[in-house]
Every structure is written in structure tokens, then in C-alpha cells.
């Protein structure tokens, strides 16, 4: 997984953020410690080097200037000749960091052509450390436009006053005139069948011309292309815009995988000069139900490991603090280096052998090895994933005995997955060692029934229930009231984690309601679900679009949401027990039209083409329809036709004014509304 993330980030750098690339070097193909190939050095050759570090903020390795051997004067790291014929303005971007000694020297960038004099385009007089940052420089001097353009990174002054200047990800590029970059779309990798939602996303203007309008398009497999125009904008170069589609995305009812494509077009009514960066294409899975994946961090650490203290304080700690309630966390204390952590257990050793690493600290996120670094954008990738299972877990103490009751709710069939139940103590202080840390968080105390977990298969919509108990007085626990439980499900061969959950304190098994369904009757939305098996159940709470709508507990397994306005509504139900509330049921999404009640059971294979239309358009469906009604956005009927039975109809669009219309198809069993654009 991590290699995929880095490949994606690198692809964005090269193809999306920088337009037309004339030269780039991330120093990945270097012979450490010598200065990078294709570059030359003018003055004090031995001061320019490469190393397997990432101080400048890029990836290993990187280039750097070192103060030794000592000299006083100029030293330049010079690029190869670059053909900039026809260019008038170029941009230079690079990452750098300065570790200073005494200061009083200059670092900078200069350009030349025809091997002539150097022309300075950027410089800094160093007086102290410069933290890792990205520098962007606009270059429009007489060297630009030449076929033998060169630039250099230069040092000027006494090297005795310096220490190190790190460099990475050097990119020389020029901007296209029209270039819209589709940054992201908030569509998860697993979708719930029959779901309906608007597509959110973000785009960036990577071109020189201000963007005033564009069209956002999407398509599932070879189905209908849906297009939304976004106008009235003023997005300058480098500016971003967050969009929400006006049209809805209808997730198919049929389970399986689909190719999903979103792209931008008609930028200011013109073709994009670099269309490669304005499309996102990916494979999506449609499942019976999808829930958010809660990422699990597993850290292997020790109180005798000095790098562990720095990692916890400056890398992992700030990330966790910035993302409260978005993750689960288990820390396994190891029995090395030296005497090792006094809270090491054999169960922690089993997990260490399972992953097969050799040093600490070592961090795993959902089974993927992140070693000793983790960034927010990497965590975001995992947090934005979905899962086809959920976990309900609760715990209670009877004296020193920890009792755990858990249920895995599978929304698909799974074979041979392992359920792990882990008791952690939120803060410990009794295992202080030699690395300077005085307290330790989420320390693993016991795995139930052991470190190998419980391996089983799962059947769709059938909760797998497991009860475990352990005497915590036989562990390193310091405070019994400081314990919590993490449950996760893992595939042993790939080490993929399918879901994780944090327990709530309760004596009950907190099973959720099951098999929620929704239907429209006139202007009401009726909900039906199956009750969980429990004697401690007191009723239910109803959630619409994430907000609870009932003021008192619902005792029946059905509910009617009355007099609903036009819109799309997503419902979930929770079970209320004597001492806690369950996780949410599966979701049910339904669309209410302000013309008539229309459920989310759609007519299969229904399309309008061409769309947008000029002279005519054709309505086509895999099933027959009996009536077509077309409304304008004011709700007025502009076209109506009853048909005995047909799966195809061509309509002349000349009588229609330019604009957006809603086309309602009616069959004997179903109804569906499609959007139509008339040019």
C-alpha cells in the first residue's frame, strides 16, 4: 500500500503541479556520496555530495552542500544544458533545508546561457537555520528562450561559517495557458448498493489563465456520462476550488467492481492544454453495505530505545493529536535494545515475529510497514477507505477480570480471517527506562485468547459473536480503570486489516439493528429493520443524514418519516441498551421527488443521449416505459407523452429553450428521473 501512495504523490508532482517539465531531478539515481550525475561543479568539487537522508522534505536520497573542505568564495552545482527555445517564462521549484553554524554567507540560484556570465535570480543571506521548505522562483530573464539554458545552486562566502545545505526535488517547468488539475474526488473505494450522493471534489488552476467556468463529468463503466457546468468563478493561477455536483451519483444495485471516471472539460469553454491531469479513474466495488474503515496503528517500541522517544514525541505523537477519534492504537513494548522494556510480553514477541522486522521503533498502519515515518497525507489515504464489515465491542470489569463481548458484522462473505482482541492500558509509568520517556500510551497488556487470535470465516449479514475473559492481575496493568479494548480483523497472508474498533464500557453485547430498508409512500419515507437478539434492548434511535431525528426512544422495528420535502436522505438506526448505544445499522438511501414519491429502485440501463442535446435526444432503457414527462427547473411540465410500451423514444429538442430539464420515465412498476441539458 505504501508504495502505491508514494507513486501517486510522485505522479502528482510530475504531471499535475508543474505543467510542462523541462528538467527534474529527485536525486534517486545517484552514487552516494558523490555529487549527482548530469550535474557539474564549479569551484570546490568535494563540497557537493549526496546522502541517504531526507532532510529537505523529499524522499531518500538527496543532494547537499557540506562545509568541508574549507574554502572562501563561490561554489556552484550546475545543471546540464536545457533547451528552452520558444519559452518566455519558466518556474524553478526545489526543496531545501539549511543547518547553520555561524552564518554570514549566501546561498542562491543563478542562470546563464551560452556558458556566459551568471545572472542571480534568487538568494538568501543565511543568519540561522532554515527549516525544510519548498522554494518557487519565476525566471524571465534573457537566458530563458535559449537552447543552452543552465541554472546553478550556488554557495558564496566562507564555508567555515556553514554546515549543511540540503536539496531535493529540483524541477524546472513552464505553465500551460489553460490547465485545470483535478486534485481529488471524495468517492470511497467501496460503495453501498443503491446509494445516492453528490460528488464532492477539488480542482486547482495550474495554468496561467484565470478559470471562470468548467464542466465536471463522470461515468461508471460504459454507462451514461453525467455532466455538470460550474460557472461564475474567478480562480487565478495556483488557486483551488472545492466543488459539489448539482447532479446525483446513483450507485448501481448490482454487486461487483466498476470502472469509475471523473474528469474536467470545457475550461473557459476551451480544450485543456494538458488533459492528463484533469481526470481521476479508479476501480470501485459495490457492496451490500460499506462503512468507514477505522485505521489501526501498531507500534513496536521500547523504553530503552532512544530513537523511539523522538519518534513518539515528534512524529507519531503530533499526528495522533491532530486526528482525534479517527484511529485505534496498540503499542507493543519490545525486549531490546539493551535490557529492553520491562513491560515486554511473549504475546508482543509473537506480533513482532508475525511482521518480521528487525529494529525499533517500527510502525504499521493497517498491516502496512511505515518503519519510522508517517505523514498526514499518508494517514488520510487510509482514513478515506471503506470496509465491508463493522465491529461492535464492549467490555466490563468484574474485580480484576476483564470481560469482552464483540460482534463482527460482515456485509459480505469472507474466508479465513483472524479476529484479535487486545487489552491496552492508556497510560503507564512503571516501565520507564533509559530513553528519557516518562509515560507510555496504549501499552498492550493482554491479547485474547492469545496473540494468535481467533481465525474464522464470515457469512454475509450474520454477526460473528465472540466472548473472552482474562485476569488482568496476571499482567503488568497499573490501573484497572485505565484499560480499554481494541478489536481488529486481519488477513494473515497479506497482513491486510479489514476493520478495527475501540470498545465502550458496557455489560451488554451491543448488537446493532440489521437489514434496514426504506421505501416512499406518498410524501412519507417508511423504514423497516430487524431487531437484534437481546434482553437488555430498550429501543432505537433514528438517524437521517447523520443527525438523530427522534426525540424519544422508538420501541417498534419500523418508523415513518412524515411529509418529506424533495431531496435525498440517508438513514441508519442504532439500538439503545440499558447502559449504552450500539454502532449504526447498515444505511438505506432514498430519493424523494417534489413531483411524486420515487424510490431508489431504478429502471435498469436507462440513458439519454446525446446529453447535452442540440437537435434531438433519445431516451433508451433496458425495460419498457409507458410515459415520459419533462419538467423545467421551476416544476412546470414542458413535455408529456403516454406510450403503450417502448424501450426507446426520440424527441425533437428544437421546441425546448436552452437549459436544464428533468425527465421522468414511468413504467408499470418503477419511475426514474434523469437530468437533460439542452444546448
Q: How confident is the model at residue 602 (pLDDT cuts 50, 70, 90)?
A: low
Compare 452 and 646 and report the one with higher pLDDT. 452
Non-local CB neighbours of 585 within 8 Å, separated by 6+ positions: 512, 513, 514, 516, 529, 572, 573, 574
Domains of the chain as residue ranges with CATH: 20-174 (2.60.120.200), 180-287 (2.60.40.10), 292-498 (no CATH), 514-592 (2.60.40.10), 607-678 (2.60.40.3080)
pLDDT 10s digits, 439-453 = 999 999 999 999 999
Report pLDDT for 372. 92
| Share of residues in the chain with pLDDT > 90 (%) | 78
Rounded mean pLDDT, 453-473: 97
Lowest mean pLDDT among 22-26, 353-357, 534-538, 585-589: 534-538
Tell me the HSE value of 220 on the side-chain side, using a 13 A CA sphere. Answer: 17
Buried b (16+ CB within 10 A) or exposed e, 580-614: ebbbbbbbbbbbbbeeebbbbebbeebebeebbbe
Rounded mean pLDDT, 382-404: 97
Statement: residue 5 has pLDDT above 50: no
Asked if residue 208 lies in contact with residue 229, where contact means CB atoms within 8 angstroms, the answer is: no
Sheet with 504-505, strands from edge to edge, namely: 464-471, 401-410, 389-398, 504-505
pLDDT 10s digits, 550-581 = 999 999 999 999 999 888 999 999 999 999 99
pLDDT 10s digits, 256-279 = 999 999 999 999 999 999 999 999
**CA–CA separation, 257 and 254 (whole Å):** 9
Report pLDDT for 213. 95
Helix 2-15 vs helix 376-383: crossing angle, to nearest 10: 110
Statement: residue 317 has pLDDT above 70: yes
Quick check: pTM over 0.75?
Answer: no
**CA–CA separation, 95 and 70 (whole Å):** 25
**CA–CA separation, 665 and 604 (whole Å):** 12
**CA–CA separation, 65 and 51 (whole Å):** 11
The C-alpha angle with vertex 660 and arms to 659 and 665, in degrees rounded to 5, equals 135
Amino acid at each position: 500500500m505504501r508504495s502505491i501512495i508514494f507513486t501517486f504523490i510522485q505522479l502528482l508532482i510530475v504531471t499535475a503541479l508543474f505543467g510542462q517539465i523541462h528538467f527534474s531531478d529527485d536525486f534517486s539515481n545517484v552514487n552516494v556520496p558523490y555529487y549527482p550525475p548530469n550535474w557539474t561543479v564549479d569551484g570546490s568539487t568535494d563540497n557537493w555530495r549526496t546522502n541517504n537522508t531526507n532532510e529537505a522534505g523529499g524522499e531518500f536520497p538527496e543532494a547537499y552542500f557540506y562545509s568541508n573542505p574549507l574554502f572562501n568564495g563561490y561554489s556552484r552545482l550546475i545543471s546540464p544544458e536545457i533547451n528552452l527555445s520558444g519559452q518566455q517564462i519558466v518556474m524553478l521549484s526545489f526543496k531545501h533545508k539549511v543547518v547553520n553554524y555561524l552564518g554570514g554567507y549566501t546561498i542562491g540560484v543563478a542562470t546563464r546561457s551560452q556558458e556566459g556570465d551568471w545572472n542571480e535570480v534568487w538568494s538568501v543571506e543565511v543568519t540561522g537555520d532554515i527549516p525544510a521548505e519548498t522554494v518557487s522562483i519565476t525566471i524571465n530573464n534573457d537566458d530563458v528562450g535559449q537552447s543552452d539554458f543552465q541554472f546553478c545552486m550556488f554557495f558564496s562566502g566562507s564555508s567555515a561559517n556553514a554546515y549543511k545545505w540540503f536539496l531535493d526535488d529540483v524541477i524546472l517547468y513552464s505553465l500551460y495557458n489553460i490547465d485545470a488539475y483535478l486534485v481529488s474526488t471524495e468517492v470511497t473505494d467501496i460503495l453501498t448498493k443503491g446509494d445516492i450522493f453528490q460528488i464532492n471534489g477539488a480542482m486547482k488552476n495550474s495554468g496561467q489563465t484565470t478559470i471562470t467556468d468548467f464542466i465536471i463529468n463522470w461515468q461508471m463503466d460504459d454507462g451514461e456520462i453525467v455532466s455538470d457546468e460550474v460557472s461564475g468563478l474567478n480562480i487565478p493561477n495556483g488557486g483551488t476550488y472545492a466543488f459539489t455536483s448539482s447532479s446525483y451519483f446513483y450507485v448501481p444495485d448490482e454487486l461487483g467492481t466498476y470502472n469509475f471516471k471523473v474528469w474536467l472539460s470545457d475550461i473557459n469553454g476551451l480544450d485543456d492544454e494538458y488533459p492528463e491531469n484533469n481526470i481521476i479513474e479508479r476501480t470501485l466495488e459495490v457492496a451490500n453495505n460499506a462503512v468507514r474503515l477505522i485505521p489501526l496503528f501498531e507500534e513496536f517500541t521500547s523504553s530503552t530505545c532512544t530513537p523511539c522517544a523522538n519518534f513518539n514525541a515528534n512524529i507519531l505523537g503530533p499526528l495522533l493529536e491532530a486526528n482525534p477519534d479517527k484511529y485505534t492504537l496498540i503499542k507493543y513494548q519490545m525486549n531490546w535494545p539493551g535490557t529492553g522494556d520491562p513491560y515486554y510480553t511473549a504475546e508482543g514477541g509473537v506480533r513482532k515475529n508475525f511482521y518480521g522486522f528487525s529494529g525499533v521503533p517500527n510502525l504499521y498502519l493497517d498491516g502496512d510497514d511505515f518503519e519510522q515515518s508517517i505523514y498526514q497525507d499518508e494517514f488520510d489515504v487510509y482514513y478515506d477507505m471503506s470496509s465491508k464489515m463493522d465491529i461492535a465491542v464492549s467490555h466490563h470489569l468484574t474485580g480484576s477480570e476483564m470481560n469482552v463481548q464483540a460482534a463482527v458484522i460482515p456485509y459480505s462473505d469472507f474466508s479465513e480471517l483472524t479476529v484479535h482482541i487486545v487489552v491496552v492500558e492508556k497510560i503507564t509509568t512503571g516501565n520507564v527506562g533509559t530513553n528519557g520517556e516518562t509515560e507510555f500510551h496504549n501499552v498492550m497488556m493482554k491479547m485474547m485468547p492469545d496473540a494468535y487470535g481467533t481465525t474464522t470465516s464470515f457469512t454475509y449479514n450474520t454477526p460473528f459473536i465472540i466472548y473472552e475473559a482474562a485476569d488482568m492481575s496476571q499482567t503488568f496493568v497499573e490501573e484497572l480503570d485505565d484499560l480499554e479494548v481494541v478489536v481488529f480483523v486481519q488477513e494473515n497472508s497479506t497482513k491486510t486489516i479489514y476493520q478495527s474498533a475501540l470498545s465502550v464500557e458496557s455489560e451488554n453485547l451491543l448488537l446493532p439493528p440489521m437489514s434496514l430498508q426504506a421505501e416512499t409512500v406518498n410524501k412519507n419515507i417508511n423504514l423497516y429493520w430487524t431487531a437484534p437478539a437481546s434482553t437488555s434492548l430498550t429501543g432505537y434511535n433514528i438517524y437521517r443524514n447523520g443527525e438523530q431525528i427522534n426525540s424519544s426512544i422508538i420501541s417498534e422495528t419500523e418508523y415513518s418519516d412524515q411529509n418529506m420535502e424533495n431531496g435525498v436522505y440517508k438513514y441508519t438506526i442504532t439500538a439503545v441498551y440499558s447502559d449504552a448505544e450500539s454502532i449504526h445499522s447498515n444505511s438505506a438511501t432514498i430519493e424523494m421527488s417534489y413531483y411524486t414519491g420515487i424510490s431508489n429502485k431504478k429502471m435498469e440501463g436507462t440513458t439519454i443521449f446525446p446529453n447535452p442535446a442540440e437537435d434531438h435526444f433519445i431516451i433508451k432503457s433496458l425495460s419498457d416505459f409507458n410515459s415520459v414527462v419533462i419538467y423545467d427547473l421551476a416544476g412546470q411540465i414542458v413535455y408529456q407523452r403516454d406510450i403503450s410500451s417502448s424501450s426507446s423514444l426520440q424527441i425533437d429538442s428544437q421546441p425546448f429553450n436552452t437549459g436544464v430539464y428533468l425527465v421522468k420515465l414511468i413504467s408499470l412498476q418503477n419511475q426514474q428521473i434523469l437530468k437533460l441539458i439542452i444546448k
